[in-house]
Amino acid sequence: MRPHGRDALASLYFEYPIFDAPQHLPATQHAPVVIIGAGPIGMISALTLAKYGVHSILLDNKATFNDGSRAICISRSSYQILDALGVVSDFCDHALPWDTGYSYYRGKKILEFQMPDSANEKFRPMYNLQQQYIEQFLYQCVEKNLFIEMRWRSELMQINKDTDTVHLDIKDPLRSYTIACDWVVAADGARSTTRRLCGHRLNGENYEGRYVIADVQMDHDFPTIRRALFDPKSRLGGTVLIHKQPHNIWRIDYQLGPEENAQDAIAETSVRQSVAAVFADIGYAGTWDLEWWSIYSANTLLLDDYRDGRIFFAGDSAHIVPIFGVRGLNNGIADGFNIGWKLAYFLTGKADKDILDSYTPERRGATLDVFANATKSTRFMTPPTQGWQVMRDAALSLALTDTRFGKLANPRQMTPYTYAQSPLTHKDDATFTAGPKSGAVFLDAPYADGYLCDALSGSYSLIYFGQTPPDDQDWCNVLKADPHSTLGDLYDAQNGTAYLIRPDLHIAGRWKHFDKTSFDASLAKAALR
């Protein structure tokens, strides 16, 4: 919602472009892949396919980017994906990096936490950037990519499936037509039309706690540090989260009490009063302007299967996760990258169809892991019962005098999921005592004149520590590394150690002493040709 007198797209700082539907379309339409929804996840899927030379048609029923205040935190692992897709530079230029969070209880600081970071890494643990910019920067790359055909104002109306083809009925302001395609990525968001037309439902839980999120513009002189206020004067018994975003925009999330009526709480006067009370808490007395606000409650909902034949669900169409811990967008970005490279490997003849079977176990597994972590955060942020409330308040009171309890007051951040059980992952070599495990996301480190992530090419990469690596193979890029280097230390390497890294930067397998037979078995597992 926007303040009285400002229309839906009248932002204080972002100019929404308005896109037209396509003027001309071919009479017969067939595409290898159609992506429904040009939100962040649809665009990531399209850019990933394009990286491997696979054409897609990208449809969105809107005429512009998502409006209002949505995802604002992008994790390091998402930056690594953006970098691998060659689209990260605008993000680096505009976003605010951060690694620190403060938690307060009744006005007293009880926790100062730092996310792990080091100069070995190309990217910082977290960046704040409004979702409009995330979509704009992705779209600037989509728009000029010859492998992607973007169609705005184009709405999916109906789906007909046969064994080899999916037929999509599309409506735009000028016409209705059908596209036949081999594969579909459904990235059409939380209210997914594709999901409904296929007769699937999200299953899981809804949480009681309700939050108002309000974006305000103000010249507040405080660094990019995430603040969590427990039981502050402005929200007795409740929680407030404060994040800085570019353009002096601040996101204030405040919890509603059980007695508060949602309709009253989102009236403009009430939002202004609540925000002003938070500012009194943090000692800000300057001017400010209200940009946008909304209300939400936490959900942990997901599909039983992220695949229905030739249709793959990615992002919010497949799962809704609580926003504490910045997982909605980041989890979805990993979905889009995951299905993108696997479909591309299959469609370009680099892998058998079996590779597609790994999508659901890997990405659904990641969502369940997010749920496990987010549920802990959500219970702490918005205790679901009186019992949880009493326990939470007891922990916070103890934190005033004992820092060990303060650690509980940290809304956990996103960490990438380890595909340990994936059909594509080689069993971990138990002789390692450190380093990224089989299935984990790679660890960045200085390599050659830059970082390891710069040398990973988008195909499988074998990092061999030692002087005599196996010969280059056409499916795999072989990198030689020094076991006595920072990279060698981080990867617990000795002479002859090898790590196989997948195109999506997860470790496919690792060998303390490289073994060709076991290595070949790992490739067969990955269904590679």
Ligand X SMILES: Cc1cc2nc3c(=O)[nH]c(=O)nc-3n(C[C@H](O)[C@H](O)[C@H](O)COP(=O)(O)OP(=O)(O)OC[C@H]3O[C@@H](n4cnc5c(N)ncnc54)[C@H](O)[C@@H]3O)c2cc1C
Residues engaged in binding ligand X (CB under 6 A): 36-42, 59-62, 66, 70-73, 131, 155-156, 187-190, 193, 213, 294, 296, 315-316, 323, 326-330, 332
Q: Quick one: 340 or 483, whose CB is closer to ligand X?
A: 340
C-beta separation of 355 from 335 below 8 A: no
Q: Smallest gap, in angstroms, from Cβ of residue 332 to ligand X?
A: 5
Going from the C-alpha of 204 to that of each of 171, 201, 370, 515, the distances in angstroms are 32, 10, 13, 43
Q: Smallest gap, in angstroms, from Cβ of residue 70 to ligand X?
A: 3
Helix (H) or strand (E) holding 477: strand 476-481
Q: Quick one: 60 or 429, whose CB is closer to ligand X?
A: 60
Q: Smallest gap, in angstroms, from Cβ of residue 314 to ligand X?
A: 7
Q: Per DSSP, which regions of 284-359 are E strands? A: 288-302, 307-308, 311-313, 319-320
The number of angstroms, rounded, from the C-alpha of 446 to the middle of its chain's C-alpha atoms is 25
Q: Smallest gap, in angstroms, from Cβ of residue 27 to ligand X?
A: 22
Q: Smallest gap, in angstroms, from Cβ of residue 111 to ligand X?
A: 20
Cα gap 333→43, rounded to integer Å: 9
C-beta separation of 389 from 305 below 8 A: no
Residue 155 CB-half CA count within 13 A: 13
Cα gap 399→391, rounded to integer Å: 12
Alpha helices in 348-419 (DSSP H): 359-381, 386-399, 403-406
Which residue is associated with the tokens 């969502």?
A: 367
Q: Quick one: 263 or 386, whose CB is closer to ligand X?
A: 263
Q: Quick one: 47 or 156, whose CB is closer to ligand X?
A: 156
Q: Quick one: 71 or 311, whose CB is closer to ligand X?
A: 71
Q: Quick one: 187 or 476, whose CB is closer to ligand X?
A: 187
Q: Smallest gap, in angstroms, from Cβ of residue 299 to ligand X?
A: 11
C-beta nearest to ligand X: residue: 39
Structure tokens at 145: 């990519």
Q: How do strand 73-75 and strand 226-230 relate by DSSP bridges?
A: unpaired
Q: Quick one: 159 or 490, whose CB is closer to ligand X?
A: 159
Q: Smallest gap, in angstroms, from Cβ of residue 520 to ligand X?
A: 37
Q: Smallest gap, in angstroms, from Cβ of residue 68 to ligand X?
A: 7
Q: Quick one: 295 or 455, whose CB is closer to ligand X?
A: 295
Helix, strand, or coil (residue 339): helix
Torsion 225-229-233-235 (CA) sign: positive
Q: Quick one: 72 or 505, whose CB is closer to ligand X?
A: 72
409-440 burial: b if 16+ Cβ within 10 Å, else e: bbbebbbbbbbeebebbbebbeebeebbebbb
C-beta separation of 209 from 384 below 8 A: yes
Q: Smallest gap, in angstroms, from Cβ of residue 439 to ligand X?
A: 23
Q: Quick one: 292 or 460, whose CB is closer to ligand X?
A: 292
Q: Smallest gap, in angstroms, from Cβ of residue 251 to ligand X?
A: 8
Q: Quick one: 81 or 187, whose CB is closer to ligand X?
A: 187
Residue 49 CB-half CA count within 13 A: 30
C-beta separation of 239 from 229 below 8 A: yes
Q: Quick one: 127 or 460, whose CB is closer to ligand X?
A: 127
Q: Smallest gap, in angstroms, from Cβ of residue 40 to ligand X?
A: 5
Q: Smallest gap, in angstroms, from Cβ of residue 225 to ligand X?
A: 16
Q: By 3-state DSSP, what share of the chain in percent is helix, strand and coil, each rounded to 5? A: 30, 30, 40
Q: Per DSSP, which regions of 115-202 are E strands? A: 126-128, 148-151, 155-161, 166-172, 175-186
Of 149, 160, 9, 131, which Cα lies nearest the Cα of 70? 131
